[in-house]
Amino acid sequence: AQTVTQSQPEMSVQEAETVTLSCTYDTSESDYYLFWYKQPPSRQMILVIRQEAYKQQNATENRFSVNFQKAAKSFSLKISDSQLGDAAMYFCAYRSYKAAGNKLTFGGGTRVLVKP
Amino acid sequence: EPEVTQTPSHQVTQMGQEVILRCVPISNHLYFYWYRQILGQKVEFLVSFYNNEISEKSEIFDDQFSVERPDGSNFTLKIRSTKLEDSAMYFCASSMTAGRTEAFFGQGTRLTVV
């Protein structure tokens, strides 16, 4: 079974600075998807960014980018120019390419605090 | 922008009672899911549903749980006899295909069992 680990329970960043969140995963599969979801205090899960394992190029979405290291099974999220609205829980998630159920396996989350 | 809608936003129920959590997935999506998040813990997969049947379920999804798509728009999660430990945030999600498309989540239903 796949597992996803986020080793940082909480990260603090100054507004306008950069913060990097770590995520590692364990899988025997070669094809899969990785995601970062944001969960603000409202607790809704919002997709931040997605990476397909077969793509070597790291995904970017505006101020959010990832560093995908397939051999190391590492998938970190960088938030640049941090804004107060970025304060939230961030969850890394894995999805198998083949699994019939298409389920997401989540890490334990990292809380991001943004200081003005 | 289309979104997944869940009702109610908060449900309080007595232990042993049955509850039904409701979801309206995005209209052209074909895959539906329920996830659970106990306060302070990670989001856990419960069940996925496709073509009017369960395609995968976790060990959490035991006989007290059931899912149904009673019409063309709603997707429900029923908990037959609630326990205190069922208190959690329940998220419904949907995706268009099983491929590269991501799952979109609803805003969640907070279930409190007293």
Look at the block and give the residue holding tokens 């590692």: A24
- In the three-class reduction of DSSP (H, G, I as helix; E, B as strand; rest coil), residue A30 is classed as coil
For the stretch B23-34, pLDDT in tens is: 999 998 999 999
pLDDT at A112 over 90: yes
Lowest mean pLDDT among A48-57, A61-70, B91-100: B91-100
Report yes or no: B44 at the A interface, CB cutoff 8 Å.
yes
Of B114, B106, B112, which is closest to residue B5 (Cα–Cα)? Answer: B106
What's the rounded Cα separation, in Å, for the pair B70 and B61? 19
pLDDT at A76 over 90: yes
For the stretch B59-111, pLDDT in tens is: 999 999 999 998 878 999 999 999 999 999 999 999 887 666 788 999 999 99
What's the rounded Cα separation, in Å, for the pair B54 and B64? 15
For the stretch A4-31, pLDDT in tens is: 999 999 999 999 999 999 999 999 988 8
Report yes or no: B61 at the A interface, CB cutoff 8 Å.
no
* Helix, strand counts (H, E) of chain A: 0, 12
Q: Are the Cβ atoms of A101 and B55 closer than 8 angstroms?
A: yes
Work out the angle at residue A90's Cα, subtended by the Cα atoms of residues A84 and A91, and round it to the nearest 5 degrees.
170
Interface of A with B (CB under 8 A): 33, 35, 37, 42-47, 50, 52, 91, 93, 99-109
Tell me how close the Cα of A5 comes to any Cα of chain B, in angstroms: 11
**Average pLDDT of every residue of chain B:** 92
**Average pLDDT of every residue of chain A:** 93
Of A85, A111, A115, A105, which is closest to residue A25 (Cα–Cα)? Answer: A105
Q: Are the Cβ atoms of B48 and A91 closer than 8 angstroms?
A: no
Report yes or no: B30 at the A interface, CB cutoff 8 Å.
no
* Residues forming beta bridges with residue B13, ordered by sequence position: B113
Residue B104 token pair: 């979109």
What's the rounded Cα separation, in Å, for the pair A54 and A69? 11
The confidence band for A100, taking pLDDT boundaries of 50, 70 and 90, is low
pLDDT at A65 over 90: yes
